[in-house]
Amino acid sequence: MLMMRIGMLTSGGDCQALNAAMRGVVKGLVENVDELEIYGFENGYKGLIYEQYRILTAADFSGILTKGGTILGSSRQPFKQMRVPDENGLDKVEAMKNTYRKLKLDCIVILGGNGTQKTANLLREEGLNVIHLPKTIDNDIYGTDVTFGFQSAINIATDAIDCIHTTAASHNRVFIVEVMGHKVGWLTLYAGIAGGADIILLPEIPYDINKVVEAIQKRSNAGKGFTILAVAEGAISKEDAELTKKAYKAKAASRKYPSVSYEIADQIKEICGVEVRVAVPGHTQRGGSPCPYDRVLCTRLGSAAAKAIMDEDYGYMIAMIDGRTKRVPLGEVAGKLKTVDPNGQMIKEAKRIGISFGD
């Protein structure tokens, strides 16, 4: 008789398909083991640290394929702080290990992005059996072609740009749509192309405001009365990109604008004398029901994770590579970021059809 005892947690920012991924894991195990005990840790690593968990059954994972967010709750626990004792002097890493051993878990399934993955790898190094599932709307996890949540966020950001198109055309305005993404621009790139943005500004391609203005004026001279910019949260000017990390942080902290989009809007207005509006979809990009693509992706990743658990093959991220699920060693990918290549094929193709990247 095969009996398994697993832990599950979702950490970091939420996204649409976390529930779908957990469902895939549980269904894959329930169908193939005689007895399954599931310990759902609440609010990410916090639950593992402080023994805050619920004992769940397969029934708890029924009917959640289409439900956004996470039934376990989430929280951000910075990797840099994991080795720092809490306010009561508690060793967080030891506490997580103790919880794991106290509950006699066979493994723990961890769903999350880059920071979550680094802590998952730390737990692997500390001797725990870990399986990681790559979640983030940013699609910036190294070692997998795609992360779940990404396609759902593309759909929402694209819809925002689509909606802006009609009002921008009606009023002959310049519109900036600010898309999530501090360090990488995958979401802005895909949504910008899908939404027909004229200018796309990414963290990986520092922009020259004069080049941005040139692109706007070129459209105006061609008789096109409006321009739409898709701007990543982390878009950065060429001048700022040359600053040290410390100097840039200090400058950003003293910036009078709520975000870079508003600064760009002011600069365009000052140089061109045109009306500029900023639209920020914000956390709507993380919300709502997962799109069909993400539901399929999560079902496959969850099923593949269940197989790895049954094989007792731990220490892996379950990735999607060339349309196939694959076990990728956590030690090979943790801490690495997958960024947009400024000289990549997709950028070149976008430029070929007239999209400006402000460079």
Length of the chain: 359
pLDDT of residue 272: 87
Predicted confidence (pLDDT) at residue 1 exceeds the cutoff of 80:
no
pLDDT of residue 254: 81
| 50 confidence band (pLDDT: 50, 70, 90) | very high
pLDDT of residue 47: 96
Residue 275 has φ and ψ, to the nearest 5°, of: -75, 135
Predicted confidence (pLDDT) at residue 240 exceeds the cutoff of 70:
yes
Give the chain's end-to-end CA distance (angstroms, integer).
63
Among the listed residues 34, 60, 138, 341, the single catalytic one is 138
Distance CA 312, CA 4 (A): 11
For 46, residues 6+ apart whose C-beta sits below 8 A from its C-beta are 52, 75, 77
35, with CB counted inside 10 A (0-12, 13-18, 19+), is exposed
For 228, residues 6+ apart whose C-beta sits below 8 A from its C-beta are 161, 164, 165, 168, 174, 175, 176, 177, 195, 196, 197, 198, 199
**Average pLDDT score over residue span 278-295:** 95
Q: How many CB atoms lie within 10 A of CB 335?
A: 13
pLDDT of residue 206: 97
Contact 17, 10 (CB under 8 A): no
| Structure-block tokens of residue 243 | 């600053």
Predicted confidence (pLDDT) at residue 196 exceeds the cutoff of 80:
yes
3-class SS at 344?
coil
Sign of CA dihedral 173, 177, 182, 186: negative
Predicted confidence (pLDDT) at residue 173 exceeds the cutoff of 90:
no
Predicted confidence (pLDDT) at residue 200 exceeds the cutoff of 80:
yes
Out of 236-245, 247-256, 326-335, which region has the weakest mean confidence (pLDDT)? 247-256
Residue 239 has φ and ψ, to the nearest 5°, of: -65, -45
Q: Please state, rounded to an integer, the average pLDDT across all residues of the chain.
A: 94
pLDDT of residue 172: 81
pLDDT of residue 110: 97
Predicted confidence (pLDDT) at residue 2 exceeds the cutoff of 80:
no
| 303 confidence band (pLDDT: 50, 70, 90) | very high
pLDDT of residue 213: 94
pLDDT of residue 177: 97
**Average pLDDT score over residue span 241-247:** 85
58, with CB counted inside 10 A (0-12, 13-18, 19+), is middle
Contact 178, 157 (CB under 8 A): no
3-class SS at 26?
helix
Residue 138 among the catalytic residues? yes
| 105 confidence band (pLDDT: 50, 70, 90) | very high
Predicted confidence (pLDDT) at residue 79 exceeds the cutoff of 80:
yes
